[in-house]
Amino acid sequence: MPGSAMPVPLPPLARRESTAEAVAAVLRTQIAGGAIRPGTQLREEHIASALEVSRNTVREAFRLLSHERLVEHALHRGVFVRVCGPQEVRDIYRTRRFVEPLGMRAVVEQAAGLRELADAVAAGGAAADAGDWDAVGTADIDFHRRLVAACGSVHLEAMFEAVLAELRLAFLRLPDAQALHQPFLLRNEGMVVLLEGGDLHTALRELDDYLHEAEAQLLAVIDA
Protein backbone atom coordinates (compact mmCIF):
# COMPACT_ATOMS: atom_id res chain seq x y z
CA MET A 1 0.00 0.00 0.00
CA PRO A 2 1.56 3.37 -1.03
CA GLY A 3 2.78 5.50 1.85
CA SER A 4 2.78 2.71 4.41
CA ALA A 5 5.58 0.55 5.75
CA MET A 6 6.01 -2.28 8.16
CA PRO A 7 7.35 -1.07 11.52
CA VAL A 8 11.02 -1.93 12.01
CA PRO A 9 11.71 -3.83 15.26
CA LEU A 10 14.01 -1.79 17.46
CA PRO A 11 16.18 -3.18 20.26
CA PRO A 12 15.55 -1.83 23.75
CA LEU A 13 17.88 0.90 24.97
CA ALA A 14 20.23 -0.07 27.76
CA ARG A 15 18.84 1.28 31.01
CA ARG A 16 21.25 3.32 33.07
CA GLU A 17 20.94 6.13 35.54
CA SER A 18 21.87 9.55 34.21
CA THR A 19 24.37 11.68 36.11
CA ALA A 20 21.61 14.15 37.01
CA GLU A 21 19.47 11.32 38.39
CA ALA A 22 22.44 10.12 40.43
CA VAL A 23 22.96 13.61 41.87
CA ALA A 24 19.23 13.91 42.60
CA ALA A 25 19.35 10.53 44.38
CA VAL A 26 22.20 11.71 46.62
CA LEU A 27 20.37 14.92 47.53
CA ARG A 28 17.07 13.07 47.99
CA THR A 29 18.68 10.66 50.45
CA GLN A 30 20.31 13.51 52.38
CA ILE A 31 17.01 15.39 52.59
CA ALA A 32 14.96 12.32 53.56
CA GLY A 33 17.49 11.38 56.23
CA GLY A 34 17.42 14.84 57.76
CA ALA A 35 21.06 15.68 56.93
CA ILE A 36 19.81 18.60 54.79
CA ARG A 37 17.00 20.29 56.66
CA PRO A 38 13.90 22.10 55.32
CA GLY A 39 14.72 25.69 54.45
CA THR A 40 18.38 24.95 53.63
CA GLN A 41 19.71 26.65 50.52
CA LEU A 42 21.25 24.22 48.03
CA ARG A 43 24.24 25.96 46.49
CA GLU A 44 24.82 24.83 42.93
CA GLU A 45 28.56 25.47 42.94
CA HIS A 46 29.18 23.64 46.22
CA ILE A 47 27.25 20.55 45.10
CA ALA A 48 28.97 20.52 41.71
CA SER A 49 32.37 20.68 43.39
CA ALA A 50 31.58 18.08 46.06
CA LEU A 51 30.16 15.56 43.58
CA GLU A 52 32.58 16.45 40.77
CA VAL A 53 29.87 17.14 38.21
CA SER A 54 29.00 20.11 36.06
CA ARG A 55 26.75 22.89 37.26
CA ASN A 56 24.38 22.06 34.40
CA THR A 57 24.05 18.55 35.85
CA VAL A 58 23.23 20.01 39.28
CA ARG A 59 20.60 22.26 37.71
CA GLU A 60 18.99 19.23 36.08
CA ALA A 61 19.03 17.42 39.44
CA PHE A 62 17.30 20.44 40.99
CA ARG A 63 14.68 20.27 38.27
CA LEU A 64 14.01 16.60 39.05
CA LEU A 65 13.71 17.31 42.78
CA SER A 66 11.46 20.27 42.07
CA HIS A 67 9.03 17.98 40.23
CA GLU A 68 9.00 15.80 43.36
CA ARG A 69 8.22 18.92 45.44
CA LEU A 70 11.32 18.41 47.57
CA VAL A 71 12.96 21.69 46.56
CA GLU A 72 11.73 25.04 45.31
CA HIS A 73 13.24 27.91 43.35
CA ALA A 74 13.02 31.32 44.99
CA LEU A 75 13.28 34.15 42.47
CA HIS A 76 16.72 35.85 42.60
CA ARG A 77 17.61 33.84 45.73
CA GLY A 78 18.33 30.28 44.62
CA VAL A 79 17.11 26.76 45.38
CA PHE A 80 15.91 25.70 48.82
CA VAL A 81 14.66 22.52 50.44
CA ARG A 82 10.92 23.05 50.77
CA VAL A 83 9.41 23.88 54.13
CA CYS A 84 6.14 22.01 54.56
CA GLY A 85 3.54 24.34 56.05
CA PRO A 86 0.10 23.76 57.61
CA GLN A 87 -1.80 23.81 54.31
CA GLU A 88 0.57 21.27 52.78
CA VAL A 89 0.08 19.00 55.80
CA ARG A 90 -3.71 19.24 55.45
CA ASP A 91 -3.44 18.42 51.73
CA ILE A 92 -1.17 15.44 52.45
CA TYR A 93 -3.59 13.94 54.94
CA ARG A 94 -6.65 14.69 52.83
CA THR A 95 -5.00 12.69 50.04
CA ARG A 96 -3.96 9.90 52.39
CA ARG A 97 -7.54 9.52 53.66
CA PHE A 98 -8.73 9.02 50.07
CA VAL A 99 -5.96 6.68 48.92
CA GLU A 100 -4.88 4.46 51.80
CA PRO A 101 -8.29 2.86 52.42
CA LEU A 102 -8.13 1.63 48.80
CA GLY A 103 -4.91 -0.17 49.64
CA MET A 104 -6.39 -1.62 52.80
CA ARG A 105 -9.38 -3.02 50.92
CA ALA A 106 -6.99 -4.58 48.38
CA VAL A 107 -4.38 -5.99 50.76
CA VAL A 108 -6.86 -7.82 53.01
CA GLU A 109 -7.19 -10.40 50.22
CA GLN A 110 -3.44 -10.69 49.58
CA ALA A 111 -1.35 -13.00 51.73
CA ALA A 112 1.88 -11.71 50.18
CA GLY A 113 0.83 -8.10 50.72
CA LEU A 114 0.04 -8.77 54.38
CA ARG A 115 3.49 -10.32 54.82
CA GLU A 116 5.06 -7.20 53.35
CA LEU A 117 3.16 -5.01 55.82
CA ALA A 118 4.30 -7.26 58.67
CA ASP A 119 7.89 -6.99 57.41
CA ALA A 120 7.66 -3.18 57.47
CA VAL A 121 6.35 -3.31 61.05
CA ALA A 122 9.22 -5.64 62.03
CA ALA A 123 11.76 -3.26 60.47
CA GLY A 124 10.27 -0.39 62.46
CA GLY A 125 10.42 -2.41 65.66
CA ALA A 126 14.07 -3.31 65.09
CA ALA A 127 14.92 0.35 64.45
CA ALA A 128 13.08 1.38 67.62
CA ASP A 129 15.03 -1.20 69.63
CA ALA A 130 18.23 0.34 68.26
CA GLY A 131 17.02 3.84 69.15
CA ASP A 132 17.10 4.95 65.51
CA TRP A 133 13.90 6.95 65.31
CA ASP A 134 14.61 8.36 61.86
CA ALA A 135 14.77 4.74 60.63
CA VAL A 136 11.47 4.09 62.43
CA GLY A 137 10.00 6.94 60.39
CA THR A 138 11.37 5.40 57.21
CA ALA A 139 9.79 2.05 58.14
CA ASP A 140 6.49 3.79 58.86
CA ILE A 141 6.52 5.45 55.45
CA ASP A 142 7.39 2.09 53.87
CA PHE A 143 4.40 0.48 55.63
CA HIS A 144 2.02 2.96 54.00
CA ARG A 145 3.84 2.73 50.64
CA ARG A 146 3.30 -1.05 50.65
CA LEU A 147 -0.32 -0.57 51.62
CA VAL A 148 -0.99 1.57 48.55
CA ALA A 149 1.13 -0.74 46.35
CA ALA A 150 -1.41 -3.49 47.09
CA CYS A 151 -3.79 -1.67 44.71
CA GLY A 152 -1.58 -2.79 41.81
CA SER A 153 -1.67 0.61 40.07
CA VAL A 154 1.62 2.12 38.88
CA HIS A 155 -0.11 5.49 38.47
CA LEU A 156 -1.40 5.46 42.03
CA GLU A 157 2.00 4.41 43.35
CA ALA A 158 3.76 7.23 41.48
CA MET A 159 1.31 9.80 42.81
CA PHE A 160 1.63 8.45 46.35
CA GLU A 161 5.44 8.60 46.21
CA ALA A 162 5.15 12.38 45.79
CA VAL A 163 2.83 12.53 48.81
CA LEU A 164 5.28 10.49 50.88
CA ALA A 165 8.17 12.76 49.89
CA GLU A 166 6.25 15.76 51.21
CA LEU A 167 5.30 13.80 54.32
CA ARG A 168 8.98 13.21 55.07
CA LEU A 169 9.58 16.97 54.79
CA ALA A 170 6.78 17.51 57.31
CA PHE A 171 8.28 14.94 59.68
CA LEU A 172 11.61 16.79 59.56
CA ARG A 173 10.02 19.86 61.09
CA LEU A 174 9.37 18.04 64.36
CA PRO A 175 12.01 18.29 67.11
CA ASP A 176 11.30 14.87 68.64
CA ALA A 177 11.16 11.97 66.17
CA GLN A 178 10.53 9.41 68.92
CA ALA A 179 7.45 11.23 70.21
CA LEU A 180 6.05 11.27 66.68
CA HIS A 181 6.77 7.70 65.59
CA GLN A 182 6.59 5.55 68.71
CA PRO A 183 2.77 5.51 69.12
CA PHE A 184 2.17 4.80 65.43
CA LEU A 185 4.59 1.89 65.37
CA LEU A 186 2.22 -0.07 67.61
CA ARG A 187 -0.79 1.09 65.64
CA ASN A 188 0.71 -0.21 62.39
CA GLU A 189 1.17 -3.57 64.09
CA GLY A 190 -2.42 -3.49 65.29
CA MET A 191 -3.73 -2.82 61.79
CA VAL A 192 -1.80 -5.79 60.43
CA VAL A 193 -3.35 -8.02 63.10
CA LEU A 194 -6.83 -6.80 62.18
CA LEU A 195 -6.24 -7.35 58.46
CA GLU A 196 -4.76 -10.80 59.00
CA GLY A 197 -7.91 -11.64 60.94
CA GLY A 198 -10.08 -10.39 58.08
CA ASP A 199 -11.58 -7.55 60.15
CA LEU A 200 -11.51 -4.94 57.38
CA HIS A 201 -14.19 -2.73 58.95
CA THR A 202 -12.27 -2.22 62.20
CA ALA A 203 -8.98 -1.84 60.34
CA LEU A 204 -10.45 0.94 58.18
CA ARG A 205 -11.79 2.71 61.25
CA GLU A 206 -8.37 2.41 62.93
CA LEU A 207 -6.66 3.79 59.81
CA ASP A 208 -8.98 6.79 59.77
CA ASP A 209 -8.33 7.49 63.46
CA TYR A 210 -4.60 7.01 62.89
CA LEU A 211 -4.47 9.54 60.04
CA HIS A 212 -6.53 12.15 61.88
CA GLU A 213 -4.36 11.83 64.98
CA ALA A 214 -1.11 12.01 63.00
CA GLU A 215 -2.33 15.10 61.16
CA ALA A 216 -3.31 16.79 64.41
CA GLN A 217 0.09 15.99 65.94
CA LEU A 218 1.97 17.50 63.02
CA LEU A 219 -0.23 20.59 62.88
CA ALA A 220 0.14 21.18 66.60
CA VAL A 221 3.85 21.76 66.05
CA ILE A 222 3.87 23.33 62.58
CA ASP A 223 0.97 25.69 63.34
CA ALA A 224 2.43 26.78 66.67
At 3-49, the pLDDT tens digits run 555 455 545 544 555 899 999 988 888 887 778 888 999 999 999 99
Output the pLDDT for position 31: 84
Q: In what order do the strands lie in the sheet with 41-42?
A: 41-42, 78-81, 71-74
More confident residue, 16 or 162: 162
Q: Give CA 184 to chain center in angstroms.
A: 16
Rg over alpha carbons for the chain, rounded to the nearest Å, is 20
CA atoms within 13 A on the CB side of 11: 3
Mean pLDDT of the 176-180 span:
83
More confident residue, 90 or 29: 90
Mean pLDDT of the 142-146 span:
95
Output the pLDDT for position 211: 96
pLDDT at residue 56 tops 80: yes
Q: Please give the model's pTM, rounded to 2 decimal places.
A: 0.79
What's 201's DSSP letter? H
Output the pLDDT for position 68: 86
Output the pLDDT for position 11: 54
**How far is the C-alpha of 95 from the C-alpha of 204, rounded, in Å?**
15
Q: What is the mean pLDDT of the chain?
A: 89
* Closest among 78, 109, 92 to 161, alpha carbons compared: 92
Segments in 36-110 forming alpha helices (H): 44-51, 55-67, 86-107
